[in-house]
């Protein structure tokens, strides 16, 4: 998809304002994910800037926002704790290389194998995760240094500002779409807090709680080129390799699923393989500039899309504004009430959750409903990548189980010395037990024909089942004929030998999944 089609003056304005909104919401999340990974706030902010900028410029999905994410942070924490942040930078570089290779070898297309129930579960689980992540903003440090829930007036102020933010986001578009409603809500709530002197928690308060430093700030300089200070040895490679592989897989799964979701929302189509290359290039660069790496951020992407951001300019603007905040405007950003940002994210939750999936639960197959609930639950308990992998595996097993029932064997011709069995349906690992139960070599006539005209031998397990059946008929002194098998099947069948009849005109030419085909 070519984003230049959106470069009209109106869309440029929407992209710039939407990018500013995203940048404001990026700050607390990037800082929070940095602390999850066990690194300094600037490491997360630099990652949000660089990954966001590079993917916006060369990625395969204009309008999608990338940066430091929680799914990657939870993988990084063990590496940082055991070996230090320099090994993290090296792992991020290697992660990026793996992602570039995934794009070069066109592996992005495999995201199309994710079933729709898994996508629904992914979206619903993600909405729940975003919601739960905001609940931490309702906690403050008490005199003993422990985090406790707000109560009394502070809780009333927090709740009131959140509701005001959500009301502005909901109703403002009905009056005007001149500026993104999320940006208008953040600015309005910030001004109200300043002029009314409300005692509301700000971004600076959050930083202070995270760092135990009341003077904590997001202020910093421009990212500097930095080669990871690790030994260039095989030992180092073996340390970072498993982390890099996991990070690359998690990052690509989350990015490509976000890409698919935005495709559906905007009725356009991104380029998965190009996005793999873009994500990889961004992470390689980030690793050399002191960032923690990242991938697509579905919450921020939803803010961008809902605010009118469609082109590459929105992602570029978000990254540039974020850097400007770090360099020049940290004090202004730190004044923003956390309630405004929480309100924005709550609206993202409402817009992200597929409410229609609740209404369709009684109308879709029970297996699909189970997968939606399963993926949602695993997403909340573990992370998005594991949830999607579990969902795909369970979907494949259910598919195999259902199709195992489709193999049918019926007699189409019979006399005292002759019987013809016609097979219908796929013969594969899940259906071979049902296949075996259809035959009785001891009591069948002397001459038996198995016709595979309406069946397909799908894998090596099916070939072994046919081979074993042929051996049983041979042991019983019976003559077995196998018709309409592909040439591949005939070559692979060992015990059937001369019993396989060749029909040159009608035999199929499909391929069989087998480890014996070297």
Give the three-class secondary structure for 513: strand
pLDDT band for position 97 (cuts 50, 70, 90): very high
Rounded to an integer, the average pLDDT of 393-408 is 83
How far, rounded to the nearest angstrom, does the alpha carbon of residue 214 sit from its chain's CA centroid? 37
- Kindly report the CA angle at 124 between 121 and 125, in degrees rounded to 5? 80
Q: Look-up: residue for tokens 């135990």?
A: 212
Q: Domain ranges in the chain? A: 9-135+219-336, 405-499
136-140, 143-147, 370-374: segment of lowest average pLDDT: 143-147
489 vs 509: CA distance, rounded Å: 10
Number of neighbouring beta carbons within 10 Å of residue 200: 22
- Give 269's Cβ-side CA count (13 Å radius): 4
pLDDT band for position 492 (cuts 50, 70, 90): low
pTM higher than the cut 0.75: no
Each residue's pLDDT tens digit, 41-68: 899 999 999 999 999 999 999 999 999 9
Number of neighbouring beta carbons within 10 Å of residue 511: 12
The listed range with the strongest mean pLDDT (8-22, 32-46, 494-508) is 8-22
Give the three-class secondary structure for 14: helix
The two three-digit tokens of residue 180, written as one number: 């993104």
13-27, 92-106, 110-124: segment of lowest average pLDDT: 110-124
Residue (of 270, 331, 292) closest to 93 by Cα position: 292
- Kindly report the CA angle at 309 between 386 and 107, in degrees rounded to 5? 35
pLDDT band for position 304 (cuts 50, 70, 90): very high
pLDDT band for position 508 (cuts 50, 70, 90): low
**Is the distance from CB of 46 to CB of 53 less than 8 angstroms?**
no
Rounded to an integer, the average pLDDT of 73-81 is 86
**Is the distance from CB of 218 to CB of 28 less than 8 angstroms?**
no
Q: Which residues of 380-392 are buried (b: 16+ CB within 10 A; e: fewer)?
A: beebbbbbbbbbb
Pick the residue with more confidence: 208 or 281? 281
- Total number of residues shown for the chain: 518
Pick the residue with more confidence: 95 or 449? 95
- Kindly report the CA angle at 206 between 200 and 210, in degrees rounded to 5? 155
Pick the residue with more confidence: 481 or 16? 16
pLDDT at 503: 44
H-type helices in 105-226, by residue range?
116-134, 152-175, 181-196, 203-211
The two three-digit tokens of residue 279, written as one number: 């994500």
pLDDT band for position 518 (cuts 50, 70, 90): very low
Locate the DSSP E strands across 17-106: 66-67
454 vs 456: CA distance, rounded Å: 7
The two three-digit tokens of residue 126, written as one number: 């993600």
pLDDT band for position 205 (cuts 50, 70, 90): confident
Rounded to an integer, the average pLDDT of 424-430 is 86
Residue 497 has pLDDT above 80, yes or no: no
- Kindly report the CA angle at 35 between 34 and 39, in degrees rounded to 5? 65
Tally DSSP H helices, then E strands, for the chain.
Answer: 20, 8
Task: Give the contacts of 351 (CB within 8 A, at least 6 positions apart).
Answer: 302, 306
Question: Considering the chain, what is the average pLDDT of its residues?
Answer: 86
pLDDT at 513: 63
Rounded to an integer, the average pLDDT of 66-79 is 86
pLDDT at 131: 86
245-259, 480-494, 499-513: segment of lowest average pLDDT: 499-513
**Is the distance from CB of 279 to CB of 55 less than 8 angstroms?**
yes
Q: Which CATH class is domain 405-499?
A: alpha beta
215 vs 15: CA distance, rounded Å: 34
pLDDT at 405: 72
The two three-digit tokens of residue 267, written as one number: 């009725």
């Amino acid at each position: 998809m070519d984003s230049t089609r959106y470069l009209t003056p109106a869309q440029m304005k929407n992209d710039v304002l939407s990018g500013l909104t995203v940048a404001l919401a990026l700050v607390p999340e990037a800082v929070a994910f940095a602390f999850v990974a066990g690194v300094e706030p600037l490491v997360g902010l630099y990652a949000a800037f660089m990954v966001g900028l590079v993917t916006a410029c060369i990625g395969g999905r204009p309008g999608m926002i990338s940066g430091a994410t929680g799914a990657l942070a939870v993988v990084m924490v063990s590496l940082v704790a055991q070996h230090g942040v320099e090994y993290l930078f090296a792992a991020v570089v290697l992660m990026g290389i793996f992602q570039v290779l995934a794009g070069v070898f066109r592996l992005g297309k495999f995201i199309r194998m994710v079933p729709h129930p898994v996508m629904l579960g992914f979206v619903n689980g993600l909405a729940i995760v975003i919601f739960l992540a905001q609940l931490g903003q309702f906690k403050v440090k008490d005199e003993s240094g422990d985090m406790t829930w707000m109560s009394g007036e502070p809780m009333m102020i927090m709740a009131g500002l959140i509701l005001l933010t959500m009301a502005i986001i909901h109703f403002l578009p009905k009056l005007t779409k001149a500026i993104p409603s999320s940006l208008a809500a953040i600015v309005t709530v910030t001004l109200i807090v300043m002029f009314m002197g409300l005692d509301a928690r700000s971004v600076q308060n959050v930083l202070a709680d995270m760092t135990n430093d009341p003077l904590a700030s997001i202020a910093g300089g421009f990212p500097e080129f930095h080669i990871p200070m690790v030994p260039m040895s095989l030992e180092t490679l073996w340390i970072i390799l498993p982390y890099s592989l996991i990070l690359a897989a998690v990052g690509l799964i989350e990015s490509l699923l976000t890409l698919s979701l935005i495709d559906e929302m905007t009725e356009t189509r991104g380029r998965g393989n190009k996005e793999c290359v873009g994500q990889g290039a961004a992470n390689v660069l980030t690793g050399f500039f002191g960032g923690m790496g990242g991938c697509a951020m579905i919450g921020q992407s939803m803010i961008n899309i809902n605010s009118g951001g469609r082109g590459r300019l929105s992602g570029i603007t978000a990254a540039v504004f974020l850097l400007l905040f770090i360099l020049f405007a940290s004090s202004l950003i730190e004044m923003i009430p956390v309630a405004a940002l929480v309100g924005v994210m709550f609206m993202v939750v409402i817009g992200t959750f597929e409410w229609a999936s609740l209404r369709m639960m009684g109308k879709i197959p029970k297996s699909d409903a189970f997968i939606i609930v399963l993926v949602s639950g695993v997403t909340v308990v573990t992370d998005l990548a594991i949830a999607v992998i579990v969902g795909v595996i369970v979907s494949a097993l259910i598919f195999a189980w259902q199709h195992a029932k489709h193999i049918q064997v019926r007699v189409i011709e019979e006399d005292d010395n002759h019987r013809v069995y016609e097979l219908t349906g796929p013969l594969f690992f899940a259906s071979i037990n049902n296949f075996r139960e259809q035959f009785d070599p001891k009591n069948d006539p002397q001459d038996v024909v198995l016709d595979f005209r309406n069946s397909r031998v799908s894998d090596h397990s099916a070939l072994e089942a046919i081979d074993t059946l042929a051996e049983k008929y041979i042991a019983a002194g019976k003559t077995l004929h196998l018709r309409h098998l592909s040439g591949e099947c005939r070559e692979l069948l060992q015990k059937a030998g001369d019993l396989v009849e060749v029909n040159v005109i009608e035999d199929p030419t499909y391929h069989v999944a087998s480890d014996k085909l070297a």
